Amino acid sequence: MSSAAKPIEELERVIVRFAGDSGDGMQLVGGRFTDVTAVLGNDLATLPNFPAEIRAPAGTLAGVSSFQIHFASREILTPGDAPNVLVAMNPAALKANVSALERGATIIANEDAFTTRNLAKAGYETNPLEDGSLEAHVVRRIPMTTLTARAVEGMAEVSTRDGMRAKNMFALGLLCWLYDRPTAVAESWLDKKFAANKPALEANLAALRAGWAFGETTELIDHRYTVATAHDVAPGIYRTVNGTTATALGLVAASERSGLSLVLASYPITPASELLHELARHRSAGVRTIQAEDEIAAAGMALGAAFGGALGVTATSGPGMDLKAETIGLAVMLELPMIVIDVQRAGPSTGMPTKTEQSDLLMAMYGRHGESPLPIVCATTPSQCFDAALEAARIAIRYRTPVILLTDLFLANSSEPWLIPDVTKLPAIDPQLARANGSGTFAPYARNADQARPWAIPGIPGLEHRIGGIEKSQPSGGISYDPENHQLMTNQRKAKVAGIEVAALEVDADPDAELLVIGWGSSYGTLRTAVRRIREGGGAIAHAQFRNLNPLPANTGEILRAYPRVLVAEMNDGQLVKLLRSEFLLDLESYAVTQGRPLLAAEMEREMLSRL
């Protein structure tokens, strides 16, 4: 396929959102468009949005599925706020997404789907393509269904159904043409996917090419765009990953680096289930996954595995965290390594399971009875989930403690390019397992300089010992109800966590900045983008993002005190700000949103501006 004669305009960045019915294959189109964009060397970020229902009635609002991709010739950090182009495969997709568009955005609508029946299902009284309600936008009406049908017409073995299903490939072909991206990667993906189903392969390829060809020939669209390779990107080998995959790979890497085997025990829950699915496939890395009967059992299994010398991991989302609390408390008492991953979603209770939020921080800190401190790590971007998982493992193993790793639904589902690390340069994690000492006594609660106790795993004669959830005397580990000992152990458990070495908080600051914006976890990209825009507008500002939430980096207080105004932005009701206020007694400002969605760059830019 060669590009045609229409003029090509160069853009710095573009946001495209594909939207259709759950059955329309929008996630698939989005994924393929991501592939072709990634190999072009654009920076990119993507965000899928699934319907809450499994399969809501076709054509309804509840059934709309979408996929947004933001790609650019310079570093970008979020999937973008407002799409430049919305591909709407049916009226419901249009209705559910049109409010996200700014004036002047383009809508590419599959006009075949705008039937009276579909309009009614979407709750439209008149056809928006015709009633003038979209006049703020550039609307391209394209009969994709018909054109796809025509493309596969006459193909011997292609069923009408296969033909119809291929209309998403038509859209892909058209968008590839529009943004000047060769379809080779998508084609070879189709080759693999439909290796066993030639007719489907043919239909899809035909549709893809038809979409491209339509772009070249149609008079509806008169010019194309291109986005050049990103040049501010570090050299190396890249792939795209979403947060789920990156977390999984980080855990496997921790297993390899530490020499421990990885045991993940989990109970399905949206959006954490995907991690179970992903790790279950890594049989060749010796990963053991167990779908436990519930979250309590999952935590217990991870902890039992840790007692046996494995890297014990359990992953869940909010409601499951509630259930694991008692076992996490036991892990605090046993002082064994264990990783608890909370892929946060919008709460409370069942809440909005398919929406994102950062509202489990205080639960991670305090969600267990008694004084039971533990380290908390969070991930800032989809690919950084890899590092965060490694960091959680490092802390858990070195300090013999359960660690809570906070990610969220947005990170889990969102993708970005990832500079694949050189594995030989990843830090080794020495588990320093206890060895037989021949001395005749073994004290399971003797502490080292890190305040950590020995990890003595079954199999070693001479190290037999019993531990449990009752307060124990130091260093023998025997049951103790002694008041002073309880005070000592309480202090030591606290000191151990407080003394964990974590990286200093980095500030990205203009020299004369008066406002510091603080975030944690997945708001990283949004905040950096907003900060960049402020700077582009000539403003001076500082930004810092927490990756370690307990303990906080040692320089936190110093940094907070260095700015007259500090704004803490969170996707919750102000949880980090509570911790920071209590710790540093500073009148920090809070911008806290609970709308089940990521913060938006424009919104944060506005908030920052209003405080400059």
Partner 1 sequence: MSASGTNGAAKTNGTAEPSGPRVLTKADFQSDAETRWCPGCGDYAVLAAVQGFLPEVGVPPERTVFVSGIGCAGRFSYYMNTYGVHGIHGRAPALASGLAAARPDLSVWVVSGDGDALSIGGNHLIHALRRDVPLKILLFNNRIYGLTKGQVSPTSERGKVTKSTPFGSPDEPFNPVALALGAGATFVARTIDRDKHHLPAMLRAAVAHPGAALIEIYQNCPVYNDGAFDALTEKDTRDDALVMLEHGQPIRFGADGKHGIVRRADGDLEVAEVADVGENALLVHDAHRTDPSLAFALSQIGELDGGATPIGIFRQSPRASDAAARTAELSAARASFTAADLAKLLHGSNTWSVGASGAGAER
Ligand X SMILES: Cc1ncc(C[n+]2csc(CCOP(=O)(O)OP(=O)(O)O)c2C)c(N)n1
Q: Does 309 bind partner 1 (CB under 8 A)?
A: yes
Question: Given candidates 2, 5, 7, 54, which one binds ligand SF4 under the rule CB under 6 A?
Answer: 54
CB 396 within 8 A of CB 337: yes
Instruction: Give the distance from CA 441 to its chain's centroid.
Output: 47
Residue with smaller CB distance to ligand X, 155 or 323: 323
Residue with smaller CB distance to its own copies, 52 or 419: 52
Phi, psi of 80, rounded to the nearest 5 degrees? 90, 155
Question: Given candidates 117, 131, 217, 236, which one binds partner 1 under the rule CB under 8 A?
Answer: 236
Residue with smaller CB distance to ligand X, 350 or 448: 350
> Contacts with partner 1: how many residues (CB under 8 A)?
130
Question: Given candidates 57, 197, 487, 504, which one binds its own copies under the rule CB under 8 A?
Answer: 487
β-strand 542-546 against 507-509: which pairing, if any?
A: antiparallel
Q: Does 229 bind partner 1 (CB under 8 A)?
A: yes
Interface pattern 456-485 for its own copies (x via CB under 8 A): ------------xxxx---------x-xx-
Site for partner 1 in 449-478 (CB under 8 A): 458-470, 472-473, 476-478
Q: Does 378 bind partner 1 (CB under 8 A)?
A: no
CA 456, CA 435: separation in Å to the nearest integer? 7
Phi, psi of 194, rounded to the nearest 5 degrees? -105, 25
Question: Given candidates 10, 55, 197, 595, which one binds ligand SF4 under the rule CB under 6 A?
Answer: 55
Q: Alpha helix (H) ranges present in 83-122?
A: 91-97, 116-122
* Token duo for residue 266: 């989990």
Q: Does 64 bind its own copies (CB under 8 A)?
A: no
Site for partner 1 in 19-78 (CB under 8 A): 35, 38-41, 49, 51-58, 61-62, 64, 66
Question: Given candidates 365, 406, 542, 544, which one binds its own copies under the rule CB under 8 A?
Answer: 365
Residue with smaller CB distance to its own copies, 326 or 508: 326
Q: Does 427 bind its own copies (CB under 8 A)?
A: no
CB of 53 to ligand SF4, least distance (A): 8
In the complex, which residues of this chain contact ligand X (CB under 6 A)? Answer: 267-269, 295, 319-320, 323, 350
Q: Is the peptide bond before 551 cis (omega within 30 degrees of 0)?
A: yes
- Could you say which of its own copies, partner 1, ligand X, none residue 551 binds, taking C-beta under 5 to 8 angstroms by partner kind? none
CB of 299 to its own copies, least distance (A): 11
Residue with smaller CB distance to its own copies, 261 or 492: 492
CB burial of 450-475 (b: ≥16 within 10 Å; e: otherwise) equals ebbbbbbbeeeeebebebeeebbbbe
Nearest to 183 by CA among 150, 159, 151, 206: 206
Kindly report the number of other CB atoms within 10 A of residue 594's CB atom: 18
Q: Does 231 bind ligand SF4 (CB under 6 A)?
A: no
Question: Given candidates 75, 180, 510, 573, which one binds its own copies under the rule CB under 8 A?
Answer: 573
Residue with smaller CB distance to ligand X, 180 or 322: 322
CA 546, CA 556: separation in Å to the nearest integer? 9
- Residue 66: what residue type? S
CA 418, CA 384: separation in Å to the nearest integer? 9
CA 459, CA 603: separation in Å to the nearest integer? 57
CB of 114 to partner 1, least distance (A): 19
Burial of 104 (0-12, 13-18, 19+ CB in 10 A): exposed
DSSP readout, 44-72? EEEEEE--SSSSPPTTSGGGEEEEEEEEE
Q: Does 196 bind ligand SF4 (CB under 6 A)?
A: no
Site for its own copies in 263-322 (CB under 8 A): 317-319, 321-322
CB 292 within 8 A of CB 298: yes
Question: Given candidates 44, 86, 578, 608, which one binds its own copies under the rule CB under 8 A?
Answer: 578
Residue with smaller CB distance to its own copies, 427 or 483: 483
Q: Does 379 bind partner 1 (CB under 8 A)?
A: no
CA 120, CA 107: separation in Å to the nearest integer? 20
* Token duo for residue 571: 């996707």
CA 424, CA 141: separation in Å to the nearest integer? 53
Question: Given candidates 244, 273, 381, 594, which one binds partner 1 under the rule CB under 8 A?
Answer: 273
CA 304, CA 327: separation in Å to the nearest integer? 10
* Binding stretches for its own copies (CB under 8 A): 52, 317-319, 321-323, 325-326, 329-330, 332-333, 342, 344, 346-355, 357, 359-360, 362-363, 365-372, 468-471, 481, 483-484, 486-487, 490, 493-494, 572-573, 578-579, 581-582, 585-587, 593-597
* Binding stretches for ligand SF4 (CB under 6 A): 54-55
